[in-house]
Structure 1
């Protein structure tokens, strides 16, 4: 499986990858001019040691590339992991790259995420962020309808502006932003992906990005099973 659907129109697609658990091992063993040809129990112990002791540079030689299609509210949370990609003390760049489609150049029909009536969540009781329990269905139905109407109004004004000759980079101002799907390529090291997953699989992470994190985990887990388990064991074992 290389593509997993998420949030109605959204998806995560595994585009490419470089390396394996053996890549991590050999990146570490090169210090002693050694190389393993097959992953052994001794190599697994080395991966455990590297993770436990914080020797993370070997994990940055294993790379994975994804295509993601997600609402803008998810994309902007995700983007923080690229802006702050040197997020480990003393380890430098963690090899993240991000390239996103732009409505300065394309005018494809916009797609939007609309929560179903039973998916609207209440505000949390004891926090300034996040969400609480699902609200009653009738209220959710009201806001699903209002969001659809609001979005359709924005789309009609966007299309009218284009028809009148307004450039795409300004006409897009009429599009309601946070629910609009955007598409990007994310290339990152296994270390960086594990960092993302550890935070976005937590119970208090926004549900929508949790859904995408679960898809990323399902796609990357078979590629680097030992490294991923050691870098984020308390999450992977759940």
Structure 2
């Protein structure tokens, strides 16, 4: 994945219009090492081979508290269906109270032009044969063209009704009911400890995770490894 800059920060594009932007970080691999060594009143200025072995030991043995002294802050722009799956992960995660924060833009106040995730005809997937969740093989191209067309018409009609409601004076928090929700892009800040990020990556980089959120997890992984290469090498399997 290519790293570009948006608003002066490293960013990875995802899907047709989405992205993950690294807003800020607190700490690096050395932060983890120093948090672990404070028990012996030790502090390092540079990472060496012994420190890398220490990180490996901490991850292998489940001594995770040193990984919570570093944190990462991302800005994410994704379809609502991705955002809600991500949020369910945060709520259900055992690390939710370890420096995890989530702030999302709201259409109660924001009336900017809606943006939607529109799949190309060759991106639609069939329902799996032996499972109630996930997806299977790509649909036939002819069917994909028809389904993409229906989605575009549905979105256009929703946008038209949304604008009409605003024009006649309906408040934004109610007018948004006309917008097709699950494909609409939303923007949020996600701040998490390094341990929480690693847990998210282990869950959402898995082969059976929803394909769309896998793309976002890959972007988070690429950006996070710039500052935490040794820690994530050991934490993300």
> Could you state the TM-score of these two structures normalised by the residue count of structure 2?
0.94
Partner of 2:7: none
Which whole-Å CA distance do the structure 2 matches of 1:186 and 1:77 have between them? 14
Which whole-Å CA distance do the structure 2 matches of 1:28 and 1:211 have between them? 33
2:168 to 164, 167, 180: 164
Is the aligned partner of 1:70 residue 2:78?
Answer: yes
Matches within 5 A, 1:116-195: 116-195=120-199
SS in 1 for 2:213: helix
Task: Flag as ranges the 4+ runs of structure 1 deviating above 6 A.
Answer: none
SS in 1 for 2:222: helix
CA RMSD of the aligned region, Å?
A: 1.1
Residue segments in structure 2 that go unaligned for 5+ positions in a row: 4-9
1:82 touches 1:97 (CA, 8 Å); kept in 2? no
Which whole-Å CA distance do the structure 2 matches of 1:40 and 1:206 have between them? 38
Which whole-Å CA distance do the structure 2 matches of 1:206 and 1:96 have between them? 22
> Could you state the TM-score of these two structures normalised by the residue count of structure 1?
0.94
Deviation at 1:85, TM superposition (A): 4.0
Is the aligned partner of 1:43 residue 2:51?
Answer: yes
Is the aligned partner of 1:83 residue 2:87?
Answer: no
1:21 to 8, 29, 34: 29
Deviation at 1:106, TM superposition (A): 0.7
Deviation at 1:184, TM superposition (A): 0.2
Is the aligned partner of 1:208 residue 2:212?
Answer: yes
Partner of 1:229: 233
Is the aligned partner of 1:6 residue 2:14?
Answer: yes
1:103 to 98, 104, 107: 107
1:85 touches 1:95 (CA, 8 Å); kept in 2? no
1:85 touches 1:96 (CA, 8 Å); kept in 2? no
Aligned pair count? 229
1:231/1:224 Cα in 2 relative to 1: closer, same or farther (>3 Å)?
same
Deviations 1:74-126 (A, max 9, x none): 00010123223434xxxx83211110000001100000001100000001011
Deviations 1:36-78 (A, max 9, x none): 1111111111111111111101101111111000000000010
Residue segments in structure 1 that go unaligned for 5+ positions in a row: none
Deviations 1:213-234 (A, max 9, x none): 11111111121011001111x3
